[in-house]
Amino acid sequence: MSTTSPPIPGTAADGVLDDSAKRIALAQPRGFCAGVRRAIGIVERALDLHGAPVYVRKEIVHNHHVVAELEKRGARFVDSEEEVPEGAVCVFSAHGVSPMVRTGAAKRRLDVIDATCPLVAKVHQAALRYARDRRTILLVGHADHEEVEGVRGEAPERTLVVETEEDVALLDLPDDAPVAYLTQTTLSFDETTRVVEALRRRFTDLVGPVGSDICYASQNRQNAVKALARDNDLVLVVGSRNSSNSIRMVEVARQHGAAAHLVPDAGCLDESWLTSVARIGVSSGASAPEVLVRGLVDRLASLGYTDVEVAEGTPEDVVFSMPARLAVPDTGRVPRTALADEAL
């Protein structure tokens, strides 16, 4: 009996796919989350109200296209508040900052507008609460990520960063130490759960958040990618290389059986990935604008992938209010921006 797999419908004898076999499934949800829309809207609104330049500490969100477009409008991105002229308008990025950064900005009399995602701000508040309770804070995340740097800065003397299950065993703490855990909001839910379970097994006096710190949008996008991985030969995630949530989506797709790659934009597509691939799942990280997804879909269409369908997924209707000084009168909501994404 032959063990050779049946050929993919539409595949020629030489293994070349006929275009009739090629299709794309677009994940739903994908792209901008509420926190990213709010952060971008804050920079655009600040430019409208104050004029250029408006300074932004770090990238407002981790996406090269967003940063480039805001730079065209007059935003100036800097690595430190020390680079901002005294008294100038300075926006803090969606990833949040430490109290030390806020103190430095105050010393320079900067006109600060805080674009920290409300979900990240919630983690900051929890860190302060646990520090007041004199607990050691075990912060699950990547030590070099801006969000982790900001949260750790709330209580640096009481905070230890934990990245893996192996790190839990290496913590120089007694098993009955009073500890609390928090997590970076953009992690993989499955991997974070394993680390938290390791903490629970080791420490007898452990407290943590009710539910999960992981952002609803990160979780929804990871769930959508799991579905893509089950039904497609290849998963492509649009997102920048420094986008934690986009990288996690690629990892999740691979863990669930699909080949997967991060694609910063259509120009980064490697056509060798498409060899003998009939079904492609496409998604995008929470900081990736829809225009980049459109560009990738157009590039794939030029290669014969013209059959496009939108997968079912979790609807999102979360909207975060603007800071009062920037809010649209009578609504308080984020104004529609030039970078807001639209459905394909």
Residues forming the active site: 147
Which residues fall within 8 angstroms of residue 161, CB to CB, at 6 or more apart? Answer: 139, 140, 141, 142, 143, 148, 152
Q: Which pairs count as long-range contacts for 110-114, CB under 8 Å and 24+ apart, including other chains?
A: 110/55, 110/81, 110/84, 110/86, 111/50, 111/87, 113/42, 113/46, 113/89, 113/323, 113/325, 113/326, 114/323
Cβ–Cβ under 8 Å, residues 303 and 296:
no
Task: Give the Cα separation of 154 and 130 in Å (integer).
Answer: 10
What Rg do the C-alpha atoms of the chain give, in angstroms?
A: 22
DSSP H helices, the chain, are 34-50, 64-73, 99-107, 118-132, 146-152, 165-170, 189-202, 216-231, 244-255, 290-302
Helix, strand, coil percentages for the chain (3-state, nearest 5)? 40, 15, 45
Cβ–Cβ under 8 Å, residues 245 and 220:
no
Which residues fall within 8 angstroms of residue 285, CB to CB, at 6 or more apart? Answer: 31, 63, 221, 237, 238, 239, 240, 243, 245, 246, 249
Task: Give the Cα separation of 344 and 332 in Å (integer).
Answer: 28
The DSSP line for 154-199 is TSGGGEEEE-SHHHHHH--S-TTS-EEEEE-TTS-HHHHHHHHHHH
Residue 93 token pair:
């990025």
